[in-house]
Amino acid sequence: MSGRDDADGAGGPGGSGDANDVGGVPDVALDEALAAVAGEQPLINSVTNDVTVNDVANITLYWGGLPVMSDDEREVGDMVGIADGCLLNMGTVSESGEVTMLTAGRAANEAGVPLVVDPVGVGATPTRDRVADRLVTDLDVDVLNGNYGEISALVGDDAEVRGVESVGEYAEIAAAAVECARKTGAVVVASGETDIVATEEAAFEVDAGHSMMGAVVGTGCMLGVTLAVFEAALDDPLSAALSGTAAYGLAGELAAEGAFGDYRGPASYKIAFLDAVAGLADASTPDIADRIDRIEVR
């Protein structure tokens, strides 16, 4: 339940090579994933939107990563080439921004740097549709992060996206996420009331989060860079998507429970949420296996 405003088997520290749990759910050890992030301190270059750039930088740091926000075409390729991960976020689309994102994405592909793409607002305007199509077609994307409407729009399903917000009903979102994974070759995270993580072969439901997260602008952007941080540390897209999505949702729950201070509304909740991200590794990290269920998709 990320409340965004708006995959078979895993390897590496966050999962195992076989989906051998009940229902074919990969093993995901959140404490190991958080320790890997802390140990790696991955440098993440985010080419993101003007609205949430500070939040994206801070949450990168709070997870244990190192943020850099290079968005100048003249240097972004060099910066991405020395980074451990890269996020491309379409939140504020411009002609120069499109060029910069493509330059950054190509540099990531050439250097073997994990790439996360957040096609914000795709489905809302022809310009965003065109830019999103270029990003997922021209680039090799490791993780694709979008809300229900955006993921549906990418595969040509009926989607209602107003501005950058997903509205409407999406009863077949798991199937759409799997189709999107097949189309793009990426692990897909469809964020909404219940988050869906999908590969070309399977879909998983991640039951974590709180409705207050939907009252804060930028939670989708912050989820995107969370996935970039975890992918850089774990070097496995499915492990990163499952553990990163679950960790993000758990931080939202802890903030709502008052574990990181009382809140009186969306503004103070946001502060508690950011504190929860920073403190999650030191909190009593629960076993998240019972939060992840495999969904049968034909």
pTM: 0.88
191 annotated ligand binder: yes
- Whether 158 has a pLDDT exceeding 70, the answer reads no
Q: Are 44 and 68 in contact (CB under 8 A)?
A: yes
CA–CA dist 224, 117 (Å, integer): 8
pLDDT of amino acid 289: 82
218 annotated ligand binder: yes
- Whether 286 has a pLDDT exceeding 90, the answer reads no
Give the length of the chain. Answer: 298
pLDDT of amino acid 193: 84
> Stretch 282-297: mean pLDDT, rounded?
82
Q: Please give the structure tokens belonging to residue 270.
A: 């946001």
CA–CA dist 178, 152 (Å, integer): 10
Q: At what angle do helices 237-256 and 30-40 cross, to 10 degrees?
A: 100
89 annotated ligand binder: no
In this structure, which topology does domain 30-155+165-283 adopt according to CATH? UDP-N-acetylmuramoyl-L-alanine:D-glutamate ligase (3.40.1190)
Segment 60-106, tens digit of pLDDT: 999 999 999 999 999 999 999 999 999 999 988 899 999 999 999 99
- Interior angle at CA 105, CA 150 and CA 147, nearest 5: 15
Q: How confident is the model at residue 160 (pLDDT cuts 50, 70, 90)?
A: low
70 annotated ligand binder: no
